[in-house]
Structure 1
Amino acid sequence: MKALGTLGTTVALALAVASAAAAAAAAAATPKDPPVTLDTHVDIPFGYMREARFDAGKPSVLQVDLDKMERGGLNAAFFIIYVEQGPLTPAGYAHAVAQAQQKYDDIALMLRTYPDRIRLATTPGQLRANRAAGKLSAMIGIENGYSLGHDLNNLDAAYARGARYVGLAHMGHNDLCTSSTPMAELGDPPLSDAGISDFGRSVVKRANQLGIMVDISHSSDACVREVLSISSAPVIASHSSSRALLNHPRNLPDDLLRAVAAKGGVIQAVALKGFLKLDPGRDLAEKALQAQVAKQAGDAAFDSERHAYLPAYVDGMRRIDAAFPPATLDDYVVHIRHLVEVAGIDHVGIASDFNGGGGIAGWTDATQTRNVTAALRQHGFSDDDIAKLWGGNLMRVWDEVTRRADARHGTG
């Protein structure tokens, strides 16, 4: 009986070893998530957290909410303080500042309401700590320096509220610099050699002092060149793709990709259809739908903040997607590959522009975040490369910008 018992024990051990080996093989065959998945550009609508449909802690109409982040494996996102370009007047500035304050308040409300799920990160170290604790991270970025209201003190106030990058421009020239897309309805002249203004220079220098990353997305080429010459720290393009692959002024040409990399910065490839795939028929169909939806709502012009979530617009976009297939993950990774070939693997990252027009076939919202990782693997990127693209590079730049600011003030 003792011999049989020993045999039974031996067999059991062998089965246990085989089972453990099988489990290890299965685990090895299942690709791991990157250490951090960080999206540098997620817009929020006016009414964020204050309207039930925009409650980020519950199932929502948003492309990014907490449930979608958790299910899709998106750990961290820069939520954006965006205001539309308006008149360069005291009234215009006051309105822009008030709109920005509302969005800061809305992000703060999300953090107060769901502290067990998401936390603010104002340093890369805090992001890493949140990740280790199993929490999501919210960071804050500014899109359109117009919301500073032509007052440098408002940049300090933005830093105090958690802003860690400042985008100088949006669509239409402002008081900081010229835009890559002048707006005739705002009275903008066509693109010229004009670049950054004196106020814009003061914003770049103060951002360097505070430890705020300077964002060149949406800025004109002339402005980008001047920013690169005056910034004492690396800069970022928070959501831009390749102009060599698609000749859109919002994309960056190869010489500027190299210049950003030479400065130590990073270009965050953006998953926005119109910057990845040229489709004039789709463009016309979208403009017609926008005009129709705005008219039905009783408004003179389409406003994405007001109209993009209406059922008529959502249904219309589904029909347009069927008739004019949008850009795909493969199209997106082709842009990432080009950016890497030109700027280097250490100088490229990932941005969705969700809730602001972003979204492509295969990455329509945050639940499909792992599809991006899978597509990168399929295109030959290693796990180390993917870790850099998904947040490592941006966090390196953020660390460097913070270090230089601390050193300047003797606190590093």
Structure 2
Amino acid sequence: MKTFGLLGSGIALAFALGSPAASAQQDPPITLDTHVDIPFAYMREPRFDFGKQTPLQVDLDKMRRGGLDAVFFIVYVDQGPLTPEGWAHAVAQAKQKYDDIDLMVKTYPDQIRLATTSDQVLANKKAGRLSAMIGVENGYSLGHDIKNLDIAYKHGARYVGLAHMGNNDLCSSSTPEAALGDTPLPEYSITEFGRSVVKRANQLGIMVDVSHSSDACVREVLALSTSPVIASHSSSRALDAHPRNLSDELLRAIAAKGGVIQAVAVQDFIRLDPARELAIKALQAQVAKQAGDKSFDSEKHEYLPAYVEGMKRIDAALPPPNVDDFVAHIKHMVEVAGIDHVGIASDFDGGGGIAGWSDTSQTRNLTAALRRAGFSEADIAKIWGGNLLRVWGEVTQRATANRAG
């Protein structure tokens, strides 16, 4: 479990709403977060009911208070063995998450609707509704069967992340896992199955997501894909040398393909702090032991008073990065890749959260930080959703054109 260019008329209208003449304190036309995780008990336990007061970083009330319009909710599964049993388990876990997202939108149809096109996101905003989209994190959940990508598309998935932590049957990971038998240096970049996933995603109109993939895999995907590619939640390696972040070379390459990189508000990907990381790991081990468990489980332990209070002590002694630190990544990425190729992801409820943007209710703090950094209202509109919607629209149009041809 986790612990830590074609511009449609609808998008053009959204940008017009955010014209320079607008008030400096006006919300951007669309605020869109490309990566929010959900627990396996989502909507099936009262504490994880989107429409209620929850301990989650993202729920209905927090989205409304913070002014966040649209979220890609994530169908994520842990990396497991590359066996028929492992793949079957991953497919079953993914189905549960698709069902849970479906239950959410069916329970609160007047508040949030599933959006399967970029135009639907804009229509929901115009109607005063929030948008739920679906992204797949870790192509392992496809169960080594390309037909499951079509099933994911029918469920509403509009991006597919090829890997997570640990190499899989699609490609090598930026963070190989010794426990899975991975070697420190990847023995491969992308597999034949991975190539088939990229090809079929292009045909369907699913954005291919290279976050978590190894550098070699990212390069292969950029060469293979006939549509722009996204990195759904990755920050700058030049500012923080974490392997999960992207180098300037890869930022430029994704931009040259017409894609977008969504800077992510995960503390370790913004500023490495070994002392803080060690303190958190020690707290997790202590809380798990007190609960009678061998290891820390975020879904079970993260909301316990002992963990919440322990994190408050750690935050006071070893402060996390803040919104200005995060915006420094965004600024660098814009300088390298261009203003049309950078967006925002929180990774909330999956390890994300920084000082000033610790949950969705604080979303306007991040917008204020972008303004402090000198970004114009037009730039902010692009970063907060316009760029991702443009890429999504182009991926859809290319798929439609290919089908018509």
Structures share fold, TM-score greater than 0.5: yes
2:88 aligned to which of 81, 87, 94: 94
Deviation of residue 28 (structure 1)? 6.4
Number of equivalenced pairs: 385
2:237 counterpart SS class: coil
d(CA) in 1 for partners of 2:287 and 2:215? 34
Q: 1:219 to 1:28 in 2, by over 3 A?
A: closer
d(CA) in 2 for partners of 1:371 and 1:192? 40
8 Å CA contact retained: 1:193, 1:222: no
Aligned pairs (5 A) from 1:183-194: 183-192=177-186, 194=188
Give a deviation string over 1:67-113, Cα, whole Å, max 9, x none: 10011100000000000111111111111111110001100110011
Aligned pairs (5 A) from 1:374-385: 374-385=368-379
TM-score using structure 1 length: 0.92
8 Å CA contact retained: 1:289, 1:313: yes
1:329 aligned to which of 308, 317, 323: 323
Q: Partner residue of 1:181?
A: 175
Q: Partner residue of 1:171?
A: 165
d(CA) in 1 for partners of 2:303 and 2:269? 22
d(CA) in 2 for partners of 1:67 and 1:375? 23
2:144 counterpart SS class: coil
Q: Partner residue of 2:209?
A: 215
Q: 1:313 to 1:175 in 2, by over 3 A?
A: same
Task: Write out the 4+ residue segments of structure 1 that deviate beyond 6 Å after TM superposition.
Answer: none
8 Å CA contact retained: 2:251, 2:336: yes
Deviation of residue 325 (structure 1)? 0.1
Deviation of residue 302 (structure 1)? 1.9
Deviation of residue 29 (structure 1)? 5.5
Q: Partner residue of 1:23?
A: none
Deviation of residue 394 (structure 1)? 0.2
Is residue 2:292 matched to residue 1:298?
yes
1:249 counterpart SS class: coil
Q: Partner residue of 1:341?
A: 335
Give the residue type in structure 2 aligned to 1:151.
Answer: D
2:223 aligned to which of 229, 232, 240: 229
1:195 aligned to which of 171, 182, 189: 189
Q: Partner residue of 1:82?
A: 76
2:374 counterpart SS class: coil
8 Å CA contact retained: 2:146, 2:196: yes
8 Å CA contact retained: 1:143, 1:167: yes
Give a deviation string over 1:9-28, Cα, whole Å, max 9, x none: xxxxxxxxxxxxxxxxxx96
8 Å CA contact retained: 1:58, 1:65: yes
Is residue 2:107 matched to residue 1:113?
yes
Deviation of residue 368 (structure 1)? 0.6
1:47 counterpart SS class: coil
8 Å CA contact retained: 1:216, 1:224: yes
Q: Identity over aligned residues, as a percent?
A: 75
Give the residue type in structure 2 aligned to 1:132.
Answer: K
Aligned pairs (5 A) from 1:264-279: 264-279=258-273
d(CA) in 1 for partners of 2:133 and 2:396? 15
Give the residue type in structure 2 aligned to 1:202.
Answer: S
Q: Partner residue of 2:388?
A: 394
Q: Partner residue of 1:357?
A: 351
d(CA) in 2 for partners of 1:177 and 1:29? 46
d(CA) in 1 for partners of 2:335 and 2:187? 28
d(CA) in 1 for partners of 2:216 and 2:223? 11
8 Å CA contact retained: 1:180, 1:191: no
d(CA) in 2 for partners of 1:345 and 1:115? 35
Is residue 2:131 matched to residue 1:132?
no
Deviation of residue 194 (structure 1)? 2.0
TM-score using structure 2 length: 0.93
Give the residue type in structure 2 aligned to 1:199.
Answer: F
2:343 counterpart SS class: strand
Deviation of residue 307 (structure 1)? 2.4
d(CA) in 2 for partners of 1:143 and 1:310? 27
Give a deviation string over 1:252-291, Cα, whole Å, max 9, x none: 0000000000000000000111111121110110111111
d(CA) in 1 for partners of 2:361 and 2:285? 30
Give the residue type in structure 1 aligned to 2:282.
Answer: A
Q: Partner residue of 1:256?
A: 250
8 Å CA contact retained: 1:152, 1:202: yes
1:409 counterpart SS class: helix
> Gaps spanning 5+ residues in structure 1: where?
1-26
8 Å CA contact retained: 2:74, 2:136: yes
8 Å CA contact retained: 2:24, 2:377: no
Give the residue type in structure 2 aligned to 1:297.
Answer: A
2:404 counterpart SS class: coil
Range with bigger deviation, 186-195 or 215-224? 186-195
Q: Partner residue of 2:154?
A: 160
Q: Which has the higher contact order (CA 8 A, sep 6+)?
A: 2
d(CA) in 1 for partners of 2:122 and 2:22? 24
Q: Compare CA radii of gyration and give the structure with the larger one.
A: 1
The CA RMSD over aligned residues, in Å, is 1.2
Q: 1:341 to 1:28 in 2, by over 3 A?
A: closer
d(CA) in 2 for partners of 1:67 and 1:357? 20
8 Å CA contact retained: 1:282, 1:324: yes
